[in-house]
Amino acid sequence: MHYIILAAALTAATIASVPAIAQNKKVDKALTYFNSGEYTKCRDMLIKYYPKVKDKPTRGQVSFYIGECSRNMSDSRNAERWYRKAVQVKYSNPLATLYLADALKMKGNYEDASAQYSAYHDLVPDDARGEQGVQDCELAQKWMQNPTRYITWNARWLNDKESDFAPCFGQDSTEIYYTSARESAKGNEKNANSGTNYTDIYQSVKDKKGKWSIPVPVEGAVNSAFDEGSPFVTSDGQTMYFTSCKNLKGKSLGCRIYMATLEDGKWVNPEEVVLFNDSSVSVGHPCLSPDEKTLYFASDKDGGFGGKDIWKSTRQGRNSWSTPENMGGNINTKGDDVFPFEAPDGKFYFSSNGRGGMGGLDIFKYYKNKEGKYVTENLQYPLNTYADDFGIRFFKNYQKGYLSSNRDGSRGDDIWGFYLPPIQVSIEGVVKNEETTVVITDAKVKMTASDGTQLETKTNNAGAFKFQLAENNDYMFITEKAGYLKGIGKETTKGLTENTVLKMEIMMTPLVNVIEIENIEYDFNQATLREESKVSLDVLVDILNVNNTITIELRANTDFRGSDEANLKLSEARAQSVVDYLIIKGIDKDRLQARGMGETNPITVSKKIAAKYPFLKEGDKLTEDFINKLENTQDKEICHQLNRRTEFKVLRTDFKEDGIPFGSE
């Protein structure tokens, strides 16, 4: 039904690809109707003639044309039936196989569709549509098995038993305009292209209780006895752009874009928006950019990529526009690219049947990704289905809106609502002893989010905890238990686009332990901290800020190479470098002491170290004698590296008792 706008554009391309039927007066008459876009009359004549055809070639050709009429009328069920008849009698035009595959795909019969696409690829191996069709069928099934988070529903209060589609909002989201072919539309005759009523533009208004009014035709001079639709209303609610397609004696005169103004509740003074000098070119589906300086529209003008393309033109006056520019190959294809819409955030939406998809028209999004590249992306299921999906509109500042579709649950084309619920994110954590890796039960866990939310829980018998998180937040988790330093965990939900369960492990260190600060490195024989060491020290800053009542001793150790005096001096300087860095980062100098250990304190291998280096056992002390007895030079160097470490030891736990309030009772 939605193809009533620009319907005639399909005819020329179709005729050019189809062999002529043998001379027959009735068939010739039917083809005359076909050429003028009167698909209903053409189909009725050919169906009536079909039982009289005896030879297979002609039966195949007649079947194909009936299928073509059905396809142009958006009747995929009958299109499938008649294309299949053409294929069964081995009709010579391979497009019968391709279009049968398309029709099967539009029913969601992906396995049969894939088989027909494969058959078409065998017939026309140079045409990418065969191989692409097989891939599309596989992808569509994958998308249906793994849908996006969108929820869709039929907006039945807007829909009638006839087709309703192409919604747009008025000055705000409390009024909606759209296209309808319901019985109350002005035209008394049937549309010769679609076989349905002619369409008018209707309006519905939402009251203060959130209830939509009964849709009525817009008042004024917009609607006629022929097709009007695809409205776009400016942000001030005072100007409407719309498509009008007139007929003369049953023949289409093509489609034009008009603009009308609102006066005393009526749309008056419709003026044609002249975009091309050639009156034979059809244009429709108008949409303005958010700043209302650019007009996007669809057209069958020659020189595009094929079928209908999306074009744009820049405003030069109230109703004066620049020479239109084709939107290019990132949007337009050999198929039909229609129903453009630019959202307030700059993302560009349109519908296409030429770049693959789930079936029929799919809705696509064209935008600049995080890498700064423009990409075209299918909106996937359930915004798209195996039916025609098109004409999307969004509420301002909301992840919801309306689209048009003839999917299951529709009566012809219907308007469907959609909504993107917040993503569901949770975090499952476990708290463990840093030294023994044994879980810590009954530890207090405090969560603080960047939006100010604070929650608290305790670990269970398995040392585990769980929180529900919100979108686009940074989180800090602080764990507390007597006899341990407070543990810290950080996580973010920013950038998440799917429901996610995050995992976290927070280690807590017993207060009696000397704690190594990992990855602290210096240049050879120097006390200057390397830049990469500052990352680890920033973690220590967090620990000191959270455990704000402790004072610590910073200890720097060297390996045994070099003199005792030199190593002691070097370690003292290195320990002081760490202290100086912590002071710069805001730690009170009275909480810090620097101590150089030289080579006097070789490390004792912990369970954690032993797990990392199999040649060491828990409890080994890496003295000079121990290292010299090792045969492997690489193992010796590992031991030297383990001895060259920076550690801290808690000296007191009662410093001032008036630190930052985070984590306090």
Contact status, residue 493 vs residue 470, Cβ threshold 8 Å: yes
CA dihedral angle for residue 337, residue 161, residue 76, residue 420, rounded to 10 degrees: 50
The encoded tokens of residue 652 equal 């007191």
Helix (H, G, I), strand (E, B) or coil at 188: coil
Helix (H, G, I), strand (E, B) or coil at 149: coil
Please name the residue that has the structure tokens 């030069």: 316
Determine how β-strand 200-205 pairs with β-strand 175-180: antiparallel
Query: Cα(605)–Cα(150) distance, rounded to whole angstroms?
Result: 54
Give the Cβ contact number of residue 460 at 10 Å: 14
Q: In what order do the strands lie in the sheet with 239-248?
A: 227-233, 239-248, 251-263, 266-272
Is the pLDDT at 14 greater than 70, yes or no?
A: no
pLDDT in tens, 366-396: 999 888 999 999 999 999 999 999 999 998 7
pLDDT in tens, 518-540: 878 776 688 888 888 888 899 89
| 64: CB partners within 8 A, 6+ apart | 18, 82, 83, 86, 91, 93, 95, 96
Residue 319 — pLDDT band, cuts 50, 70, 90?
A: very high
Please classify residue 278 by burial: count the beta carbons closer than 10 Å to its beta carbon, then call 0-12 exposed, 13-18 middle and 19+ buried: exposed
The pLDDT of 2-21, averaged and rounded, is: 42
Helix (H) or strand (E) holding 31: helix 25-35
Query: Cα(215)–Cα(205) distance, rounded to whole angstroms?
Result: 8
Is the pLDDT at 497 greater than 60, yes or no?
A: yes
Query: Cα(513)–Cα(507) distance, rounded to whole angstroms?
Result: 13
| 583: CB partners within 8 A, 6+ apart | 589, 592
- Average pLDDT over the chain, rounded to an integer: 90
Position 248 scores a pLDDT of 67
- CA-nearest of 640, 616, 621 to 557 is 640
Position 145 scores a pLDDT of 96
| 191: CB partners within 8 A, 6+ apart | 4, 40, 181, 197, 198, 199, 227
- CA-nearest of 508, 518, 544 to 652 is 544
Query: Cα(110)–Cα(100) distance, rounded to whole angstroms?
Result: 12
Residue 661 — pLDDT band, cuts 50, 70, 90?
A: very low
Measured CA angle at 168 (ends 162, 169), to 5 deg: 125
Query: Cα(599)–Cα(324) distance, rounded to whole angstroms?
Result: 79
More confident residue, 16 or 598: 598
Position 251 scores a pLDDT of 61
Query: Cα(378)–Cα(645) distance, rounded to whole angstroms?
Result: 53
Q: Which domains does the chain have, with CATH numbers?
A: 2-145 (1.25.40.10), 151-419 (2.115.10.20), 425-508 (2.60.40.1120), 514-603+645-652 (3.30.1330.60)
Position 658 scores a pLDDT of 52
pLDDT in tens, 386-444: 999 999 999 876 789 999 999 999 998 999 999 999 899 999 999 999 888 999 999 99
80-83, long-range: CB within 8 Å, 24+ apart, which pairs? 80/104, 80/106, 80/107
- CA-nearest of 50, 20, 23, 53 to 34 is 20
Contact status, residue 291 vs residue 315, Cβ threshold 8 Å: no
Residue 13 — pLDDT band, cuts 50, 70, 90?
A: very low
Position 311 scores a pLDDT of 98
Measured CA angle at 392 (ends 390, 396), to 5 deg: 180
Q: Give how far Cα 503 sits from Cα of 431, 441, 445, 459, 461, Å.
A: 12, 18, 15, 15, 18
Contact status, residue 383 vs residue 150, Cβ threshold 8 Å: yes
Query: Cα(562)–Cα(565) distance, rounded to whole angstroms?
Result: 8
Query: Cα(664)–Cα(307) distance, rounded to whole angstroms?
Result: 68
Assign 3-class secondary structure to 312-369. EEEEEECCEECCCEECCCCCCCCCCEEEEEECCCCCEEEEECCCCCCCCCEEEEEEEC
pLDDT in tens, 390-400: 999 998 767 89
Determine how β-strand 325-326 pairs with β-strand 500-508: unpaired
Query: Cα(542)–Cα(546) distance, rounded to whole angstroms?
Result: 6
The pLDDT of 268-294, averaged and rounded, is: 95
Please classify residue 163 by burial: count the beta carbons closer than 10 Å to its beta carbon, then call 0-12 exposed, 13-18 middle and 19+ buried: buried
More confident residue, 247 or 289: 289
Q: Give how far Cα 13 sits from Cα of 18, 226, 276, 397, Å.
A: 9, 25, 21, 41
Percent of the chain past pLDDT 90, that is, above it, reads 73
pLDDT in tens, 100-158: 999 999 999 999 999 999 999 999 999 999 999 999 999 999 999 999 999 999 999 99
Q: Point out the least confidently predicted range of 9-13, 341-345, 522-526, 628-632.
A: 9-13
Q: In what order do the strands lie in the sheet with 175-180?
A: 164-169, 175-180, 200-205, 216-217
Q: Residue 337 pairs with which residues in a beta bridge?
A: 352
| pTM for the model | 0.76
Query: Cα(266)–Cα(462) distance, rounded to whole angstroms?
Result: 70
pLDDT in tens, 224-261: 999 999 999 999 999 999 999 987 665 667 899 999 99
| 345: CB partners within 8 A, 6+ apart | none
